């Protein structure tokens, strides 16, 4: 199998005229580990090297690279697919947002992958964001069930979302579509450097945490706010 990540990292390091020890000093990683990453194998065990997100983040910072480019080259996400679907979503939203000020936003039936998110069949109706603070979300969803109750989001609440394809911070509430699941979900999304998966956490102890590989979970939007319709 082609060593895309390793070949790229070695080329960047040499382009920056960094020795392995200099790269190690800048990143905080061991020079032997960096060389293993470049080769794609652990030279002691002969096994494929699978970098952690934390290691890739350190290298991205040291080499002044985009972390998502490295995640893509490591095979943890499909960056091109995310860009294409997100661009499609943004294009649809821009057309809607040019209608008037404030602009109506689509209230969706359910969480779906970006490529299907704003299909006409998934739009229940258009609504207005009820707060005039100069900003507004891209779309809205109606909460189903009580899995986010401890976050104050109850069944029937309207959740406003921004159309981002990645969480902005660890622990953010997001709309997530999982490969193979017909309908997505609203969860708090977390991860750690030594566990190559997203953990989808409910705000209700009666629901279990769902662990999903990065390349099986598509972030379809991040939490912007919510309100309870009965209080309007």
Reported as a single tens digit per residue, the pLDDT across 158-198 is 999 998 888 888 899 999 999 888 789 999 999 887 778 89
Q: What is the CATH number of domain 79-231?
A: 2.10.109.10
Q: What is the CATH number of domain 4-73?
A: 1.10.260.40
Is residue 100 over pLDDT 60? no
Q: What 8-state DSSP symbol labels residue 216? A: G
d(CA 74, CA 3): 9
Please tell me the predicted confidence (pLDDT) of residue 139: 92
Q: Which two tokens stand for residue 26?
A: 């800048």
Peptide bond into 68 cis (omega under 30): no
Average the pLDDT over 45-60 and give the result. Answer: 84
Average the pLDDT over 111-115 and give the result. Answer: 83
Is residue 90 over pLDDT 90? no
Q: What 8-state DSSP symbol labels residue 65? A: -
Is residue 92 over pLDDT 60? no
Domain with CATH 2.10.109.10 in the chain: 79-231
Please tell me the predicted confidence (pLDDT) of residue 223: 93
Average the pLDDT over 206-227 and give the result. Answer: 90
Q: Which two tokens stand for residue 102?
A: 């404030």
Reported as a single tens digit per residue, the pLDDT across 126-135 is 888 877 666 7
Is residue 5 over pLDDT 50? yes
Q: Edge-to-edge strand order for the sheet containing 210-213?
A: 123-127, 105-108, 139-142, 158-162, 217-227, 172-178, 185-192, 195-201, 210-213
Please tell me the predicted confidence (pLDDT) of residue 174: 94
Domain with CATH 1.10.260.40 in the chain: 4-73
Please tell me the predicted confidence (pLDDT) of residue 8: 93
Query: DSSP letter string over 117-183?
Result: HT-GGGEEEEE--S--SS---SEEEE--SSTTGGGT--TT-EEEEE--SS-SSTTEEEEEEETT-SS
């Amino acid at each position: 199998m082609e060593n895309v990540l390793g070949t790229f990292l070695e080329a960047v390091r040499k382009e920056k005229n960094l020795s392995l020890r200099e790269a190690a000093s800048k990143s905080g990683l061991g020079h032997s580990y960096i060389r293993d990453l470049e080769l794609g194998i652990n030279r002691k065990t002969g096994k494929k090297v699978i970098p952690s997100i934390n290691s890739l983040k350190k290298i991205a910072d040291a080499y002044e690279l985009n972390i998502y480019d490295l995640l893509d080259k490591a095979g943890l996400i499909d960056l091109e697919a995310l860009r294409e679907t997100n661009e499609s979503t943004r294009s649809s939203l821009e057309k809607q947002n040019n209608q008037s000020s404030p602009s109506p936003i689509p209230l969706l039936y359910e969480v779906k992958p970006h490529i299907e998110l704003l299909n006409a069949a998934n739009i229940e109706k258009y609504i207005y964001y009820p707060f005039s603070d100069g900003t507004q979300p891209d779309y809205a969803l109606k909460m189903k069930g009580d899995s986010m109750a401890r976050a104050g989001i109850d069944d029937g609440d309207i959740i406003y979302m921004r159309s981002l394809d990645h969480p902005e911070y660890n622990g953010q509430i997001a709309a997530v579509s999982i490969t193979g699941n017909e309908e997505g979900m609203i969860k708090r999304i977390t991860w750690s450097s030594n566990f190559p998966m997203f953990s989808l956490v409910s705000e209700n102890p009666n629901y279990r945490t769902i662990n999903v590989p990065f390349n099986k979970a598509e972030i379809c939007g991040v939490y912007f706010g919510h309100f309870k319709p009965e209080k309007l």
